[in-house]
Amino acid sequence: MNRNTAKNCYETIFRTRFKEKSVLKSTFGVVARARLLVVAVLIVCFCYSTTAVAASLNVINSFGPVPKQKATTDPRKFIPKGYELVSITNGDLNNDKTIDCVLLVQATNPANWVVDYYGKKVNRNRRGLIVLFAINGTYVLRVKNMTCFSSAEEEGGNYMPPDLGIEIKKSKLYIGYAHGRYGYWEYCFRWQASNFVLIGYEGSSNRGPIVEAATSINFLTNKTEIRKNTMLESLDGEGIFEVQYLDRKPRPLLKLTDIKDFDELEIEDE
């Protein structure tokens, strides 16, 4: 083999090995980039899931800082000292398919126990609400307003005081008053903006079985419907109603925690 032939063979071998190294290096580069891409995707998925979980927890915990609470399945554990349980209402309040709890409670301050007209000792302390959400099989405090209702034992003069009722329907909280033959009124609250906000009102003024007037208010659309009975002497109690529609001035939705006294709410006159 002459010198030129040997040189050509050497160059051919060198170029072949160089190409093999380049291919091998390129292959390792692709694998490395693929691994980095997988890691990046996993990091993004983790961050997204963490953000989603945090957001969902924020919907639950966004009503101010929630104090650390011992996990409990007994809603009575949330009744503070100096209060007693009046009633418990259960239902889904935040549309998460779990059964939440609303406690109607009343203070027990001895100074506000009095002897009524009939000589009976009654509790004139004010009443309030404690709203609990069910999370992972236990209850967590969400909202409370401990003084928004007057006592059921208040003097009604010539009339019996209206009966307070709490209901949960279609993930909404209803607070209503039934006044026997004189009618009723009801407030509808929805869990929104980290609180329960007033979104609806229904009221009926009756004279026995005859409805004299009825009012329906939608605070989301700011629309009011007023129905007035123009045939009050109807024997069947149905009557003939004149309907009037009014626009209300837009206002921020009233929060349950901002209501000092339901007896003082003048919804229909606004």
pLDDT digits (tens, 9 = 90+) for 41-55: 444 344 434 333 333
pLDDT digits (tens, 9 = 90+) for 66-82: 455 667 899 999 999 99
Higher pLDDT pick, 133 / 69: 133
pLDDT for residue 34 is more than 70:
no
Task: Give whichever of 1-15, 25-39, 46-60, 139-153 has the largest mean pLDDT.
Answer: 139-153
Q: Tell me the mean pLDDT in the region 174-193.
A: 95
Sign of CA dihedral 86, 135, 200, 255: positive
90-99, 129-138, 167-176, 226-235: segment of lowest average pLDDT: 226-235
What is the reported pLDDT for 38? 46
pLDDT for residue 132 is more than 50:
yes
pLDDT for residue 16 is more than 50:
no
pLDDT for residue 37 is more than 60:
no
pLDDT for residue 234 is more than 80:
no
pLDDT band at 246 (very low <50, low <70, confident <90, very high): very high
254 token code pair:
């009233």
pLDDT band at 194 (very low <50, low <70, confident <90, very high): confident
Task: Give whichever of 21-25, 109-113, 191-195 has the largest mean pLDDT.
Answer: 109-113
Question: Which DSSP string corresponds to 217-264?
Answer: EETTTTEEEEEEES-TT-TTS---EEEEEEEPPP-PPPBGGG-S-GGG
What is the reported pLDDT for 36? 52
What is the reported pLDDT for 112? 97
pLDDT over 90 for what percent of the chain? 61
pLDDT band at 158 (very low <50, low <70, confident <90, very high): low
pLDDT for residue 121 is more than 70:
yes
What is the reported pLDDT for 60? 36
Q: Tell me the mean pLDDT in the region 237-251.
A: 90
Roughly how many angstroms between the first and final C-alpha of the chain, as a whole number? 112
* E strands in the chain: 83-91, 100-107, 113-115, 121-123, 127-135, 138-149, 163-169, 172-178, 183-192, 195-207, 210-218, 223-229, 241-247
Shortest CA distance to 122 belongs to which of 102, 100, 150? 150
pLDDT for residue 257 is more than 50:
yes
What is the residue-averaged pLDDT of the chain?
81
What is the reported pLDDT for 21? 46
What is the reported pLDDT for 232? 83
